[in-house]
Chains A and B, each alone.
Chain A
């Protein structure tokens, strides 16, 4: 979860990292009550990068200009994101700009301190001079000094920059951060430091245990955290023919690979999860089917779900319901019977207006289902239809081959 600049700066202020006086603006007219003396900088509060180049940062000298600039910024989408706030901030005359960061390194399995004496907008130059200090054991301030020395800093700047790094590390550790970055850290003529822009990403797993960060974020932003209990389609390919549904991300990757290897074209993919979710797997299946993207070329829905027989049964019911086939409740099988027997009690139901309106179904007459289930056979799907719509295989590679031959048969 990434914080916005103004939120990051609130955390900076709390630990004593120097930031400029600033004010959060929700509407252009609030600028009339601006407490900061002009000239000021107005900065679009969006998460995506590149806002400077996109026109999301404006320098203004008076209220009239400020209101006009603020209107323009509120109406400017940066890579699809409109700001909810603008940060109005005092100006600072930086003579030098540094880059500082603390990042979680997953290969090394520890945090890493990063710094560049050439911070700012020139990314190539910044990276060229990027220095790194690995925090293998407990952090101690000498590691911050080691980074500052590597950056080529001396005397007073060596001390003051180390001090900022130390404070950044404290925020990193205390708030379970994934990344904390200051770019640029400005230095003015008198050697004063100022965090001019900041970025903080909180680790998604740890987010929930930081009430203070949740409070920092307004309610509408918290809702932007991806809800993992809601399965979603991803990996769209407009020209794809096969939609894939699996019950584990790894299984989705494997199935996708097999379709591609067999010269099939996957269209999209959804992962439903039978653990850690409020919704039962079959409900999630219904949900993803209802949200099936409207892709013209879509021919086959390939479902590869490894689960127990009871869950498979519920999945099949969900598919039948989607196809508007009603399955009469099966007599409960007693004992260890592994194969459910089809009783032929299948009726094609007339879609009622009630269930038509509840989900946005698209006509699926041309789309076939290929199911890969381990236990259940599909004897209870109707064979009487003009053409079969649901296929089943116990073997994944056979199921993939079936899906691809169905794509080709049309």
Chain B
């Protein structure tokens, strides 16, 4: 993904304390935030960022932007994202949690028409260490390197990155896709983005096991990626209440008044393994697997 410290970034809902706080953190990291949006506060500045009433006003004044970060209330996310779509912003990052699913369905349909990337809702953002930080990720945790990390949440990304840093494996790109029941861009979409990223040599996926990893397995098997992919799935042992995602199972489960005990975890792990994805059992195993595969890759390249 073509993002750098030169990328021009917008923040919608910049007046919220959270947005202001993260705007300062991002700016300190060198992120080029060119404008903020807050209806009624046009003409003011927040965190030394010029504020506009409308996205279109901001773009008329400061020029095109590469991405917008949306920090508004969950019930205003759809509207804010539609405003960004109308202004043809190619990437929309939703940092807000709790967006009603019917709003999200509407947004995803619109975004699909224009091939706009939607990250989140409930994402903590993206960081390319030493280049750019978009969102809430604490830049202190990350070091620059060659490993791409796709995580459902910030805390899982931290756990993995701590282990990578310990053995000197820095990161080329870290993205948190959000762990809401319904999200825009998936593990598989980000895997395909990082597959073509020239700075990324290997990719680590971390999240809870669900049907989205079956997509990953499918994609990885068919795309014949050269880059090694390591998956670390959490929640395999926890007595978490099972969440049913497809309509028929939801109904079947609800009608039979019993929570079925079958789980798809084995199916998901096996599908990933069969596709050639390496499975890590704990965070410390990730760098071990990475070093091994990267070393083998280098040896085969030499020969």
Task: Please report A residues at the B interface, Cβ cutoff 8 Å.
Answer: 48-50, 101, 103-112, 114, 123, 126-127, 130, 132, 137, 173, 176, 178-179, 181, 183, 199, 203, 205-206, 208-209, 235, 237, 246-254, 256-258, 260-261, 269, 276, 306, 308, 374, 396-397
Tier of interface size on chain B = 35 or more
Question: Is B182 located at the chain interface by the 8 A CB criterion?
Answer: yes
Of A209, A256, A269, A308, chain B has the most CB atoms within 10 Å of the CB of: A256
Which residue from chain B places its CB closest to the CB of A49 in the assembled complex? B257
- Pick from B41-49, B230-238, B295-303 the stretch touching chain A: B230-238
Question: Is B38 located at the chain interface by the 8 A CB criterion?
Answer: no
- Chain A's nearest CB lies how many Å from the CB of B226? 29
A127–B260 Cα gap in the complex (Å)?
15
Of A50, A109, A126, chain B has the most CB atoms within 10 Å of the CB of: A109
- Are A123 and B247 in contact, with the CB atoms below 8 A? no
Which residue from chain A places its CB closest to the CB of B109 in the assembled complex? A137
- Chain B's nearest CB lies how many Å from the CB of A213? 13
Known: A127-B252, A396-B159. A203 touches B101 (CB 8 A): yes
Which residue from chain A places its CB closest to the CB of B207 in the assembled complex? A250
Which residue from chain B places its CB closest to the CB of A397 in the assembled complex? B284
Residues of A within 8 A of B228 (CB): none
- Chain B's nearest CB lies how many Å from the CB of A188? 24
Residues of A within 8 A of B211 (CB): 107
A282–B235 Cα gap in the complex (Å)?
25
A235–B252 Cα gap in the complex (Å)?
24
Which of B98, B105, B234, B255 is A254 in contact with, Cβ under 8 Å?
Answer: B234
Which of A103, A235, A258 is B247 in contact with, Cβ under 8 Å?
Answer: A103
- Are B239 and A106 in contact, with the CB atoms below 8 A? no
Question: Is B63 located at the chain interface by the 8 A CB criterion?
Answer: no
Residues of A within 8 A of B283 (CB): 254, 396-397
Which residue from chain B places its CB closest to the CB of A102 in the assembled complex? B247
- Are A306 and B238 in contact, with the CB atoms below 8 A? no
- Are A250 and B153 in contact, with the CB atoms below 8 A? yes
A127–B153 Cα gap in the complex (Å)?
36
- Are B254 and A254 in contact, with the CB atoms below 8 A? no
Question: Is B248 located at the chain interface by the 8 A CB criterion?
Answer: yes
Query: Which 6 A-B pairs have CB atoms at the shortest separation, nearest pair first?
Result: A253-B235, A206-B100, A112-B247, A106-B245, A260-B237, A248-B155
Which residue from chain B places its CB closest to the CB of A244 in the assembled complex? B238
Question: Is B90 located at the chain interface by the 8 A CB criterion?
Answer: no
Known: A105-B247, A123-B256. A250 touches B239 (CB 8 A): no
Which of A108, A127, A208, A276 is B246 in contact with, Cβ under 8 Å?
Answer: A108
- Chain B's nearest CB lies how many Å from the CB of A397? 5
Which residue from chain A places its CB closest to the CB of B99 in the assembled complex? A205
Known: A176-B102, A203-B100. A250 touches B251 (CB 8 A): no
- Are A205 and B100 in contact, with the CB atoms below 8 A? yes
Question: Is B204 located at the chain interface by the 8 A CB criterion?
Answer: no
Q: Give the residues from 246 to 289 in chain B that come closer than 8 angstroms, CB to CB, to chain A.
A: 246-248, 250-252, 254-257, 281-284
Which of A48, A106, A250, A253 is B182 in contact with, Cβ under 8 Å?
Answer: A106
A50–B101 Cα gap in the complex (Å)?
29
- Chain A's nearest CB lies how many Å from the CB of B141? 9
- Chain B's nearest CB lies how many Å from the CB of A178? 8
Residues of A within 8 A of B5 (CB): none
A199–B254 Cα gap in the complex (Å)?
11
